[in-house]
Amino acid sequence: MSRESSEADLPEEAPLPGELSEALCAELIAFRRDLHMHPELGNQEFRTTAAIRARLEAAGLKPRVLPSGTGLICDIGSWDGVHPMLAIRADIDALPIPDAKAGVPYRSTVPDRAHACGHDVHTTTVLGAGLVLAELHRQGRLPAPVRLLFQPAEEVLPGGAADAIVAGVLDGVGRIIAVHCDPRVDAGRIGLRPGAITSACDRLEVALDGPGGHTARPHLTTDLVTAVARVASDVPALLARRIDARAGLALTWGRIEAGHACNVIPMHAELAGTVRCLDLGAWRDAPDLVHAAIDEVANLHGAKSEINYVRGVPPVVNDPVVTELLRDAMAARRGPYAIEDTEQSLGGEDFSWYLEHVPGAMARLGVRTPGSNARLDLHRGDFDADEAAIKVGVELFTAAALLDGNRS
């Protein structure tokens, strides 16, 4: 028998169950738009939590709100106390920036608040996956229990994941998966990368003080405007020469304040920014290096420095096995050509805290409209997502749950 004929005689692999109906797709888009119109900041997501809870309860599930009062978990199926569950995580908070989109009916109704990072999409995909998996469970077709995790305060360093872990969200969990919107990837596709996919991210606040005075006599003062300008420009340059360039450490300022009048040298100045790092080892060394560089530049100009270095999150390091689970899941739903390799970014994500406890992986969910020339980015007021990505995220999560359950 020829190879061709023997392969032709093999039965085709049965497709995975859990297809989304048009009605459910329409409902999920409406749910996402409602969240988008009512964004809430970290640890203030009461309306968002209530909306998620109500929909899960309507599906016959029993969600549990986290002790903080926002965020929740919901198990589909009963954990047997032996075999660890797969958790599917979404972050639910928004950003403190205005929604700058025009011409869309779901623009934010809350001043200076916007879902500019796609958390409304993340939340909707996990909710949709939960509704599909709950129906499969009722039909006796869900091979293993799954936990849905809707986490608050991802945008609040060091991240709401740390509090969620303390609250016990990982009890009984053996693996965890998530997605993050990526406006560089077309809707219908995902990006995957084993190993580090995001970077460490810390917050830095610096205060400079000194005797001010008249701008006519700067030699009798500590010229804090010059000092703060030199700290802003010289410290990143110093760090670039004091750490291996391959570590990818980047200090970027987001705020500088000094003075109130054109003829008065101020007595106080402030800077704030982020420290990001690709390498875990360099991240551990970063606080000492940053402190030393700031003090050196400030002392050179006679300014007293006070530094508040707030530890944020380590890199998200995708487990190779769980990454392959996501690859197999996407291939099962949409074929291998719907998957692309992605690079490590300098963005931070508190999903990393879960991976300190259990293996897991995060995929980049494409949200760019195919063929679009728009260059939208995350954390911008005009950010938006192609809503076709919601169905893709649900398909990915449901397939991963089914494949993982069958392999357990």
Residue listed under structure tokens 């739903």: 333
Q: Which tokens belong to 286?
A: 């970063």
Look at residue 261 in the predicted model and tell me its pLDDT.
95
Res 83: pLDDT: 86
Any idea which residue has 């409406």 for tokens? Answer: 30
Contact (CB, 8 A) for 408 and 142: no
User: SS3 for 207?
Assistant: strand
Q: Token pair for residue 56?
A: 């899960």
pLDDT tens-digit map of 240-251: 999 988 888 999
Question: Distance between CA atoms of 15 and 403, rounded to whole angstroms?
Answer: 11
Q: 288-307 burial by CB neighbour count: b if 16+ within 10 A, else e?
A: ebbeebbbebbeebebebeb
Per-residue pLDDT, averaged over 27-43, amounts to 98
Number of Cβ atoms within 10 Å of the Cβ of 216: 8
* Residue range 73-128, pLDDT digits in tens: 999 998 888 889 999 999 999 999 999 998 899 999 999 999 999 999 999 999 99
Query: 16: closest CA among 355, 296, 394?
Result: 394
Give the C-alpha distances (Å, rounded to integers) separating 133 from 335, 389, 398: 21, 18, 7
Question: Can you tell me the distance from the alpha carbon of 213 to that of 231, in angstroms, rounded to the nearest whole number?
Answer: 20
Taking only the tens place, the pLDDT of each residue in 123-136 is 999 999 999 999 99
Provide the whole-model pTM. Answer: 0.89
